[in-house]
Chain A
Amino acid sequence: MADAGMLRFHVPEPEVRPGGTPDFSNVTIAKAGSVPRPEIDVDPRDIRDLAFSIIRVLNRAGEAVGPWAGLLSDDELLEGLRHMMTLRSFDARMQMAQRQGKTSFYMQHLGEEAVSCAFRKALAPGDMNFPTYRQAGLLIADGYPMVTMMNQIYSNEADPLKGRQLPIMYSSKEHGFFSISGNLATQYIQAVGWAMASAISNDSKIAAAWIGDGSTAESDFHSALVFASTYKAPVVLNVVNNQWAISTFQGIARGGSGTFAARGLGFGIPSLRVDGNDYLAVHAVAKWAAERARKNLGPTLVEYVTYRVGAHSSSDDPSAYRPKAESDAWPLGDPIVRLKNHLIQRGVWSDQRHTQAEAEILETVIAAQREAERHGTLHAGGKPSARDMFEGVYAEMPPHLRRQRQQAGV
């Protein structure tokens, strides 16, 4: 028996703190094209390696290589680029709107645009996403009107949620986007339930669950994996590992587990790890997992390795807990730049067209913003009625709420 000395408490720490030099030398990046593409009916036990590697398509030269390449046409890729650029532009304008006091709160997607934008294109109409607050690309890529998103952010008179919800907590059944909750991880098990319901109903629709690295520590992550595994639910279980949960680095949630994808292995769920800044890789893996679900082969867990370039939210200052230049050092680069370079390399895009597209997109976003602001912003112009506050708690308003509405004089 080893010497029973004093126990020492272990608390993981990120490699670098503010003032330090960003260092990602510990992040092992697989070479683009090097990870095999298994058949969709593969036995999960035979692809355990995929939970520890990183599936990548785009190489340094901007070429699409390997077995996961070749699924998307040039037009589809150009559309994907536009979606990501739109989301980034939208984010920038809304972040500014928050600073101008037009809304109380905003959360950007900076650096993570590929994940939700590319994933959306792998789904079919009728499928349902159970997103977190950082997957607005699902809406953008599905053509949800930006004006409606902004109306929600401004809590104005045209807000589809009647001013009841915090900005960015969108909801659109029509666009396969489940109502966002502030309570982390709750949607993960709900997605599994939705998928179970689809199977119970002998339907052909699938669900996609979304969670961040930090929230995998919530118990609903665990219950979702148990239920998905037990009932072989047609669900894609997405983990967006952007390295940070507000100020907490991913090691606090991950602990001694090699990767977040590896969490799926103990549940017998095929688990893949993908370059989250590679639009082609995200789409290819999403398509693989969606096809598995649709063919009744059960759930897949996908970890998207990315980096949260922006602040956690408009209320956060990352310079208090991580080096300012850390995002520049991130080895998987920027999703927009990488897809842009690929399209240029293919001869279907150019720097000039890119700059032009940026300007066009900005104009579209500003036009949407102008239209939304005609319906009011948080503190100015049209706002939802105070009567709306009492509606929708129940299908029918019960007597006690009627009394309270009368007391409120609305």
Chain B
Amino acid sequence: MPRRTMIEAIRDAMDVSMARDERVIVFGEDVGFFGGVFRCTQGLQAKYGKSRCFDAPISESGIVGSAIGMAAYGLKPCVEVQFADYVYPAYDQIVSEAARLRYRSNGDFTCPIVVRMPTGGGIFGGQTHSQSPEALFTHVSGLKVVVPSNPHDAKGLLIAAIEDPDPVIFLEPKRLYNGPFDGHHERPVTPWSKHELGEVADGHYTVPLGKAVIRRPGAAVTVLAYGTMVFVAEAAAEETGIDAEIIDLRTLLPLDLETIVDSVNRTGRCVIVHEATLTSGFGAELSALVQEHCFYQLEAPVVRVAGWDTPYPHAQEWDYFPGPARLGRALVETMEA
């Protein structure tokens, strides 16, 4: 099976979708001729023409707002916001419009759009190239929120998102674009070609939205992770020798509660990890759900390992990023609790 980077997998997902359905339209800043600042749309304009893949003015509300109008017409726009940190000008369109169109019009109009955006830190991106704003979307009814952690899932989830009848926020951990990253910044990065999840089938396939996957089966503690943190969790389990069961949530909304509850009821312990800031982060929702559904099986408090409640700093990157050492300590403490 061919191996692809996450960038190539995402591009392939759009390529496959555009070939299958002429209603699929791709646009955003630098997305057309240039192929995107991360190369995710490279070659699409040449292959499908300027009507299907084109450059947009630097206006996030314009990009998402026009996409909503296109969706109301009957197209399926898959648009890009260059960095998740720059989605805020489009927040009104996403929250007030895309998420509610089906509901408020009782299905008279719908909004099958995908808003792709590179997310997450670990790349010395500083305050405005590192944020993880997923909790701002998981709080919004009507949206679906997806965070892939590898090329195979990225392609399958993105095709599923494009085909989904509802608006999907598709957060791509840019730290994982070229290879898996476990937080060991001192080591050289391995490319996806050396990782089995870099195996990406040609043609059409989907990974269903709303389904988590167990990346590492274990019996001692459940780790709930997504995006880059999946690999951080694998490293932490290996380095501490703790038999952790690592769940890659993949879709945050709607959430695969069944897989989570089943796992925590078996392990009796739960550690949640995300890059986003702690307070009111998505981990709070996960923690509450685990407490509500697994209270009598819990043998230790649910622990959250997250970004600190500060803006994402530049020089202090590795003091901020929740790496394997910090997560490892949390795992040990949870086992000792």
Contacts and interface: CB of A to CB of B under 8 A. Distances in A.
B66 A227 contact: yes
B229 interface: no
A392 B110 CA distance: 10
Contact of B75 (A192, A197, A226): A197
Contacts of B329: none
A394 interface: yes
Interface string B117-148: 00000000000000000000000011010000
Contacts of B158: none
A152 B182 CA distance: 54
A189 B70 CA distance: 10
Contact of A201 (B73, B105, B254): B73
B18 to A, nearest CB: 12
Contact of A190 (B56, B72, B103): B72
A196 B104 contact: no
A319 B107 CA distance: 40
Interface in A375-406: 392-395, 398-400
A125 B130 CA distance: 48
Interface residues of A, number: 47
Contact of A219 (B57, B68, B74, B89): B89
A345 interface: no
Contacts of A182: 96
Given A189-B66, A193-B69, A194-B70, A393 B103 contact: yes
B65 interface: yes
A183 B61 CA distance: 13
A194 B66 CA distance: 7
Contacts of A398: 210, 254
Contacts of B57: 223, 226-227, 230
B108 A179 contact: yes
B102 A395 contact: yes
Contact of B69 (A171, A207, A392): A207
A190 B65 contact: yes
B97 A186 contact: yes
A171 B108 contact: yes
Given A223-B62, A224-B62, A227-B57, A392 B106 contact: yes
B66 A196 contact: yes
B257 interface: yes
A200 B51 contact: yes
Given A130-B69, A179-B104, A189-B69, A393 B141 contact: yes
A394 B59 contact: no
Given A164-B103, A227-B62, A395-B165, A193 B68 contact: yes
A393 B142 contact: yes
A161 B102 contact: no
A190 B255 contact: no
B254 A392 contact: no
Interface string A87-98: 000000000000
Given A193-B69, A194-B69, A201-B75, A395 B61 contact: no
A219 B62 CA distance: 9
A295 interface: no
Interface in A209-237: 219-220, 222-224, 226-227, 230
A191 interface: yes
Contacts of B141: 393
B102 A393 contact: yes
B66 to A, nearest CB: 3
A226 B257 CA distance: 43
A394 B25 CA distance: 22
Contact of A189 (B61, B100, B102, B142): B61
Contacts of B103: 164, 392-393
Interface string A159-190: 01110110001011100001101110010111
Nearest to A229: B57
Q: Which of A165, A189, A224 has the most CB of B within 10 A?
A: A189
Interface string B77-97: 100000000000100110011
Nearest to A162: B106
A222 B57 CA distance: 12
B108 A172 contact: yes
B171 interface: no
Given A181-B97, A395-B166, A197 B73 contact: yes
6 contacts: A179-B105, A186-B93, A189-B66, A193-B68, A196-B66, A394-B142
Interface of A: 128, 130, 160-162, 164-165, 169, 171-173, 178-179, 181-183, 186, 188-201, 207, 219-220, 222-224, 226-227, 230, 392-395, 398-400
Instruction: List the 3 closest pairs (A to B, CB-CB), nearest first.
Output: A193-B69, A193-B66, A223-B62
Given A195-B69, A223-B57, 9 more contacts: A128-B73, A186-B96, A189-B65, A191-B69, A196-B66, A196-B70, A197-B70, A220-B93, A400-B257
Interface of B: 25, 51-52, 56-57, 59, 61-62, 65-70, 72-75, 77, 89, 92-93, 96-97, 100-110, 141-142, 144, 164-166, 210, 254-255, 257-258
